[in-house]
């Protein structure tokens, strides 16, 4: 499956709602997903609900 990434994920399906997302450390904007920095507001087609 090809990655379809967007900086503005659909409501309720953003990185913040995804089980792959590690929340940002205090003071940082981006969290981590599979060793890549991603903003909590992004989204992609590998989304899996927490
Ligand atoms: S799998 Fe996609 S939606 Fe989930 S945290 Fe990673 S980039 Fe965001």
Residue range(s) defining the domain that contains residue 28? 5-44
Q: Is the CB of 24 under 6 A from ligand 1?
A: no
Q: Is residue 21 part of a domain?
A: yes
Determine the Cα angle at 34 with ends 17 and 5, to 5°.
60
Q: How far is the CA of 25 from the centre of ligand 1 (A)?
A: 17
Task: Specify the number of domains making up the chain.
Answer: 1
- For residue 17, the SS3 value is helix
Q: Is the CB of 42 under 6 A from ligand 1?
A: yes
Q: Is residue 50 part of a domain?
A: no
pLDDT of 18 > 90? The answer is yes
pTM over 0.75: yes
Q: Is residue 11 part of a domain?
A: yes
Q: How far is the CA of 12 from the centre of ligand 1 (A)?
A: 12
| Token pair for 24 | 């940002």
Q: Is residue 29 part of a domain?
A: yes
Q: Is residue 49 part of a domain?
A: no
pLDDT digits (tens, 9 = 90+) for 20-49: 999 999 999 899 999 999 999 999 999 999
| Token pair for 28 | 């940082």
What is the position in ligand 1's atom list of the atom closest to the CA of 19? 4
């Amino acid at each position: 499956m090809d990655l379809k990434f967007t900086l503005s994920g659909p409501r309720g399906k953003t990185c913040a709602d995804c089980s792959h997302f590690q929340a940002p450390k205090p003071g940082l904007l981006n969290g981590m997903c599979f060793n890549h920095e991603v903003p909590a507001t992004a989204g992609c087609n590998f989304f899996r609900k927490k």
